Structure 1
Amino acid sequence: MGQGAEKQVQRRRVFYIPGYDPIHPRRYRELYRKEGAAQARISGYEIDLTPKQTKGRYGWYVTGHIDGTVTEADFEVLVWSDIVRDSMEQGIAGTYLQLVRTAWAYIGSGALWRLMRLRKGPVIAALYPVVFLLVQLLIAMISAYGIGQLLAMTLPDWTAWVGVVMVPLVLNWFRKRDGKFFAYYLMHDYAYSAQSKGANPPELETRLSEFADVIAEALQGDVDEVLVVGHSSGAHLGVSILADLLRAGRVPADGPALGFLSLGQVVPMVSFLPKAGRLRQDLHDLCQRDEIAWVDITAPGDGCAFALCDPVSVSGVAPEAGKRWPLVVSAAFTQTLSPERWKELRWRFFRLHFQYLCAFDRPGDYDYFQITAGPRTLAARYAGRSPSKSRIEKPVNKFTGRAL
């Protein structure tokens, strides 16, 4: 199972890569604090949080008392929320222009139809902002027409101005309440990758290089494991960062065990685009390396992820021989959450997309807090674990070209 499979962990560095999220990274500390305490009560261990002890932009420090041992873990959030916020400053008209460009990127390239052959859930999630933004526009136009008809009875000279004023007012009303609808947020999310047809924007490439330097420094430190966790869009960023490090020979043979935990990944949303050659090359390279253990956790109950889709194989870049990763494992929400808890969360799609970072009241072999604060490396924890039988490995991607 990769480097350091039998090594006991006393000290660990954890690097968390968020998905497309504009919110301050303190939310991840608070989520870890709250859900870690809940999981500890359920599973019978202890987790304590204190301020971060290493340099870095944002993080926290954890002491885990698990399986009779004490493990120290220093967390760092690899922040790119500033890039996300900048990409979201489009205004109403700019967002509708994004809608047209993004729809064309996926429909015109044929990627949308191929993605639907994998999982319909994330495709529906991608179509939701398109449909809902168009519904908002329709409501605005109908409202303007209706009020215009009323005004025409008494103030005919004002009728022509109704649309000019009413449509923006209605659209702005919806936008201010996007915290409930998530239409603008999701539109910006999908548009960010689609704008360059799968290629990383320059500002993101610069940030990935900075992240690689931070992880490379940790790999030279006095720790037993360096664990990279990529959630949602952060999963494909983690693939590229780690592939860069391994190709450059920046992972020391006698250094800490290196683990990569991808959670709720949406890799195909990018790798299926025509200019995502960089990501496809990274997937191809990373899946063959012995120096790393890569475990991919998803769940069919998460409608926002490509559940149990092997991101390497479905992208059409698996080598003919020598593929080792990822180990695709299901978090099996319907089994690891009690019927009561599952009933409570089942239709809360965005909350379920973050369940991987939360407590399970019927935990299986996936426990985020034991993985990040326990005494076993990622490789040791999943040594001998068979991949989920219902995983999808059939390549369906039309664009399989690779490039750096």
Structure 2
Amino acid sequence: MKAGQRLMGTKGENGVTRRRVFYIPGYDPIPPRRYRELYRKESAKQAAISDYSITIAPKSGPRFGWSVDGGIEGGKTRAEIDVLVWSDIVKDSMEAGILRTYAILARTAWTYLSTGALFRQMRLRKGPVIAALYPVAMLTGQAILAVVVFALIFALGRGQGPLWAAVAGGAGALAAYGLLLWFKKMDGKFFAYYLMHDYGFSARWRGADPPALTARMAEFRADIAQAVTEDWDEVLVIGHSSGAHLGISVMADLIRAGEVPEGGPALSFLTLGQVVPMVSFLPEAKVLRRDLAYLSATDRLFWVDVTAPGDGCAFALCDPAGVTGVAPEGQTGPLILSAAFTQTLKPETWKRLRWRFFRLHFQYLCAFDNPAAYDYFKVTAGPKTLAARFADVAPSPSRITAPVGRYREVAP
């Protein structure tokens, strides 16, 4: 593995004073303001822990974002951060009612079971597979409970004659449906509907790019293509969770189209908490597999992938190209690193967060009590490019690179 040995661009080689950052969220219906507030709150915590300075301010422009001034490692930097928004597409995909959600459950379960993707993913990490099975179990349990409520009410009236049986049947049906409505209303606590729509979003097209995202990804690419022609020292693209595999295709298209100029800003790619095998193991993920193979062999950018075994929602330390089975000869990336939550968080912090799975899935964007090589705020607001920061960092010895995915066909 030669990850970390190549660097595209020259402007940032002697240090970064101006950086453009593009952040691609995962499957998240919440408006992008949440990411600004998270950055504001957590950067202040990390600055206090690590003894550096970070201030943020609003920024102008067509996309939502913010400006960051950093005083880190003896350098002064200004970063402009943009969130590449697709929360509206997520919201539209989550508009399904109760019955349609159960239809999505059946279709998604059949897709992952019939293709063998689920069983192969279990050979990598059980955590994200359990996370995928959770909404199936929860929604099935809710349906069973609704049937039990109906049966109990109906049983009370059935022995009182036909009229009472009909009344009890109607009352039982209303009670059962009301219970299902209550569960849906309370999904902010259960996350069953949210996760079901998340997994169903990609499964519907068996790994192919959802049509609603194709145009949006082209817009993301156009924004990044413009930035690499401007006077920045580094252009950094960050993909979190399912935003990672979107970023892989966006960056591959960008470079393949010849839109990265020689001598331009250093081009960097950071993936966090990636769930790439949830998509790349599906039969129609031919474009993603092509882009994985291409991006993991290019010398036109520097790619770091950060996950943590403590994150049950990510395929921790899995080389996305390697485990999919499309890693090429002469692979240059990504550099696989562990955020090592049990070491970078204090024992009391780890104890508090250990079972808060969604919070841990966002820990990559948050402050660490004992930061190691990876520090989100040094990466986004510090004076070093991604390549310079991780030039002497060895990949995790626990990384998983053996091919597991069944489907290897790639798009032309």
Alignment TM-score, normalising by the size of structure 2? 0.96
Give the 3-state SS of the residue equivalent to 1:13 in structure 2: strand
d(CA) in 1 for partners of 2:335 and 2:171?
Answer: 58
Matched, 1:23 2:68: no
- The residue aligned with 1:150 is 156
Mapped partners of 2:409, 2:43: distance in 1: 42
- Alpha-carbon distance in 2 for matches of 1:326, 1:67: 25
Give CA-to-partner distance per residue, 1:60-93, whole Å, 9 cap, x none.
Answer: 0000011121100000000000000000111000
In structure 1, what is the Cα distance between the partners aligned to 2:78 and 2:282?
41
Matched, 1:259 2:268: yes
Aligned to 1:82: 88
Structure 1: distance between partners of 2:166 and 2:336? 65
**Match of residue 334, structure 1, among 317, 327, 342:** 342
Give ranges in structure 1 of 5+ residues lacking alignment: none
**Residue equivalent to 1:120:** 126
1:395 maps to what in 2? 403
Local SS of the residue matching 1:96: helix
Secondary structure of the residue that 1:250 maps to in structure 2? coil
For the 8 Å contact 2:149–2:175, the answer to whether it is kept is yes
- Rounded to whole Å, the distance in 2 between the matches of 1:336 and 1:131 is 33
Alpha-carbon deviation of 1:343? 0.6
Letter in 2 for 1:338: K
Deviations 1:212-266 (A, max 9, x none): 0000000111110000000000000000000000100001111100000000000
Which whole-Å CA distance do the structure 2 matches of 1:60 and 1:153 have between them? 67
Q: Deviations over 1:377-403 (max 9, x none)?
A: 000000021100000001011001000
2:315 to 292, 306, 314: 306
Secondary structure, counterpart of 1:317 in structure 2: coil
Cα deviations across residues 177-230 of structure 1 (Å, max 9, x unaligned)? 000000000000000000000001112011100100000000111110000000
> Aligned residues, how many?
402
Q: Deviations over 1:25-60 (max 9, x none)?
A: 00000000000000000000000000114x232000
Following superposition, the deviation at residue 147 of structure 1 comes to: 1.7
Query: Deviation of residue 145 (structure 1)?
Result: 1.0
* The one of 276, 298, 302 aligned to 1:289: 298
**Retained in 1: the 8 A contact 2:19–2:234?**
yes
Counterpart amino acid of residue 211 in structure 1: F
Q: Is the contact made by 2:150 and 2:169 (CA closer than 8 Å) also made in structure 1?
A: no
Report how far residue 156 of structure 1 moved.
Answer: 2.9
Alignment of 1:202-241 (within 5 A): 202-241=211-250
Match of 2:362 among 348, 354, 362: 354
RMSD of aligned residue pairs (Cα, Å): 1.0
Whether the aligned pair in 1 keeps the contact of 2:13 and 2:266 (CA below 8 Å) is no
Distance 1:7 1:172 in 2: 58
Compute the displacement of 1:269 (Å). Answer: 0.1
1:140 aligns with 2:149: no
Supply the AA of the counterpart residue of 1:239. Answer: I
The CA distance in 1 between the partners of 2:356 and 2:157, in whole Å, is 42
2:47 corresponds to which residue? 40
Q: Does 1:191 align with 2:200?
A: yes
Q: 1: distance between equivalents of 2:243 and 2:75?
A: 31
- Alignment pair present for 1:14 and 2:24: no
SS of aligned partner of 2:105: helix
Taking only the aligned residue pairs, the percentage that are identical comes to 61
What displacement does 1:152 show? 3.5
Q: Which residue identity lines up with residue 40 of structure 2 in the other structure?
A: R
Q: Is the 8 A contact 1:56 1:76 kept in 2?
A: no
**Does structure 2 retain, via aligned residues, the 8 Å contact 1:7–1:224?**
no
**Inter-partner Cα distance in structure 1 for 2:32 and 2:386:** 24
Shift of 1:346: 0.5
In the alignment, residue 398 of structure 2 is paired with which amino acid? S
Structure 1 residue aligned with 2:278, among 245, 263, 269?
269
Query: Mean alpha-carbon deviation: is it higher for 55-64 or for 127-136?
Result: 55-64
Q: C-alpha distance in 2, partners of 1:57/1:393?
A: 37
CA deviation map 1:114-142 (0-9, x unaligned):
00000000000000000100000000110
* Distance in 2 separating the partners of 1:388 and 1:124: 24
What corresponds to 1:69 in structure 2? 75
